[in-house]
């Protein structure tokens, strides 16, 4: 979801008021399309918004999200960079840029942007930036560092299944099966449709030798996402369990 804020200038002229009104209308429609997953329509509205207000960081941030949704990573990066140039304390834009950089597998740059998001003491959702830091360090193979950031995310927001999920993966990789199972179950409790968490839970049970529990969870994966890669791999494990 996109955080919608709008800040007008001081003592604007009548033309500026009209431009800001037009920009706001296009922006809000663009945000609405974004939240519906209609990236093409969002891009159209947000580009129209920029025609009326080319110095609004919120518009560039939303446009970056739309391009990211379309898979147009260089275009998305340019929008987030412009948003943060216009407003260096715009934590949400730094966070969104860090998420894009994670998708681009630019781990070090993602770390920089997530840290910039956290540098603003007024930032309202630091758990998301801590999560992005954790993912970046996880991908770099620095599991202890990654775990510390996922734990920080959970301290700020206990109801945050993505941090539980990655902690579970770290524990699974390091042979701490009981702790991994606990974290995957926590992720599922907070999001009962979280397919990757079910799959990893099944894998943890499989490695622990709890065949019936593993079979039950793998079957759940196939029900929730029958055409996913998670379901395909679950089917392989189910055949081994027969």
pLDDT digits (tens, 9 = 90+) for 4-34: 444 445 566 777 778 788 999 999 999 999 9
Look at residue 13 in the predicted model and tell me its pLDDT. Answer: 73
Q: Which residues contact 177 (CB under 8 A, 6 or more apart)?
A: 171, 204, 207, 208
Look at residue 10 in the predicted model and tell me its pLDDT. Answer: 55
Q: Is residue 172 part of a domain?
A: yes
Determine the structural domain holding residue 217 and report its residue range.
159-242
Q: Is residue 167 part of a domain?
A: yes
What pLDDT digit, counting tens, does each position of 183-226 carry? 999 999 999 999 999 999 999 999 999 999 999 999 999 999 99
Q: Is residue 145 part of a domain?
A: no
Q: Is residue 173 part of a domain?
A: yes
What percent of the chain lies above the pLDDT cut of 90? 90
CATH code, 173: 1.25.40.10
Global pTM value: 0.89
Q: Is residue 218 part of a domain?
A: yes
Q: Are 156 and 163 in contact (CB under 8 A)?
A: no
State the Cα angle at 175 between 171 and 178, rounded to 5°: 65
What pLDDT digit, counting tens, does each position of 44-63 carry? 999 999 999 999 999 999 99
Domain count, the chain: 1
């Amino acid at each position: 979801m996109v955080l919608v804020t709008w800040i007008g200038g001081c003592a604007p002229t009548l033309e500026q008021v009209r431009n800001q009104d037009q920009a706001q209308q296009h922006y809000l429609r663009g945000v609405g399309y974004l939240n519906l997953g209609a990236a093409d329509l969002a891009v159209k509205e947000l580009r129209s918004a920029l025609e009326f207000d080319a110095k609004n960081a919120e518009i560039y941030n939303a446009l970056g999200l739309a391009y990211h949704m379309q898979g147009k990573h260089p275009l998305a990066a340019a929008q987030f960079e412009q948003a943060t140039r216009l407003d260096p304390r715009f934590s949400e834009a730094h966070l969104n840029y860090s998420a894009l950089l994670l998708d681009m597998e630019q781990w070090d740059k993602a770390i920089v942007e997530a840290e910039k998001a956290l540098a603003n003491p007024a930032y309202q959702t630091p758990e998301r930036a801590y999560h992005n830091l954790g993912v970046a360090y996880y991908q770099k193979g620095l599991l202890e560092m990654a775990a510390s950031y996922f734990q920080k995310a959970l301290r700020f927001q206990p109801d945050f299944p993505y941090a539980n999920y990655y902690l579970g993966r770290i524990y699974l990789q390091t042979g701490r099966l009981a702790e991994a199972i606990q974290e995957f179950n926590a992720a599922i409790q907070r999001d009962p449709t979280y397919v990757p968490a079910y799959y990893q839970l099944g894998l943890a049970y499989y490695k622990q030798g709890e065949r019936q529990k593993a079979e039950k969870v793998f079957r759940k994966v196939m029900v929730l996402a029958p055409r996913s890669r998670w379901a395909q791999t679950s089917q392989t494990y189910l055949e081994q369990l027969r």
